Structure formats: structure tokens, C-alpha cells
Amino acid sequence: MPRETIAIGADHAGYAMKATLAVDLAKMGYDVLDLGTNSDVSVDYPDFAFAVAAAIKSGRATRGILVCGTGIGMAIAANRDPAIRAALCTGGLMARLAREHNDANVLAMGSRIIGIEAARECVRQFLSTSYASGRHADRVAKLTHIELEAAE
């Protein structure tokens, strides 16, 4: 089975957490597509959210992880792409349910909101939990339909 590629992105507020998580992901056996940023020089979070969204949309990555100060900007930006279901999570339960119920394909986190251990737990749950489908399938499908209607 081919290794799964995880796209990761951050702004200046999230880059240090992203760097730590990138090392973790590689140790866990994932291929990491690091789309920046890689310093604390101020940048604009939408650029990195859009880059991760594009990587998922094109198939270069299957899932993504985004970090900014709060995670809010990253989640808002990523969710503007109809292919993305980004979930802003502050703990493992949210990350697990984002996968199980919402089939989230992007995990967004805030480095000024949670510490690295909580972020690691979010990543573990996000990557190890499958979408439950079943009663959730029609609801998730509605997200896609409304996006398609809006694009018409």
C-alpha cells in the first residue's frame, strides 16, 4: 500500500508547531508535503491554506494539517475551497469526531490556543480515525451540494 502524503502549512505564528509536527509525521511513516512557511517572518495565512487545499484537490496529498495563531483563519481560508472540509480542533475528541462525523480532510489548529501535546493528540486522532459514513453520509453530501449550487 502506498504511503499517505500529508500536506502541512502554517503562517509565522504556526511555523514552529508545524515543524515539530512534520518531524512527528515522518516518524509515524507519513510522507510530508511541507508547503511552508518556514520562519517567523510575517506572512498571510490564506496563502498557505490555499496551497494545502490545492495539494489535496490535485491529489498530491490525501489530507492536510494547518497551523496559525488561532487556527481560525486557516480553517476559514481552507473551507473556501469546495473540496475541503477543514475542522478547527483544540483536542483529541474534536479531531476524532471531525473525521468520524464530518469526514474532515484538513485539521486546523492554533499554536496560541493549544500546546504541542494537545496538537499531537489532535494529529493522532485525525490521522487514525476513519469516516463512519452511515447516518453522516447525507449530511456530508449536503455540504458538497451547497458548494456546487453556489458555484453555478
Q: Give the residue numbers marked as catalytic.
A: 68, 101
As measured in angstroms, the least distance from the Cβ of 144 to ligand RB5 is 25
How far CA 145 is from CA of 81, 100, 139, 142, in Å, comes to 13, 20, 10, 5
The CA-based diameter of the chain, rounded to the nearest angstrom, is 45
Residue 105 Cβ vs ligand RB5, minimum distance, rounded to whole Å: 20
Q: Among residue numbers 38 through 97, which ones bind ligand RB5 (CB under 6 A)? A: 45, 68-70, 72-73
Distance CA 60, CA 40 (A): 26
11-40 binders of ligand RB5 (CB under 6 A): 11, 13
Which residue in the block uniquely carries the three cell numbers 475528541? 93
Q: Footprint of ligand RB5 on this chain (CB under 6 A)?
A: 11, 13, 45, 68-70, 72-73
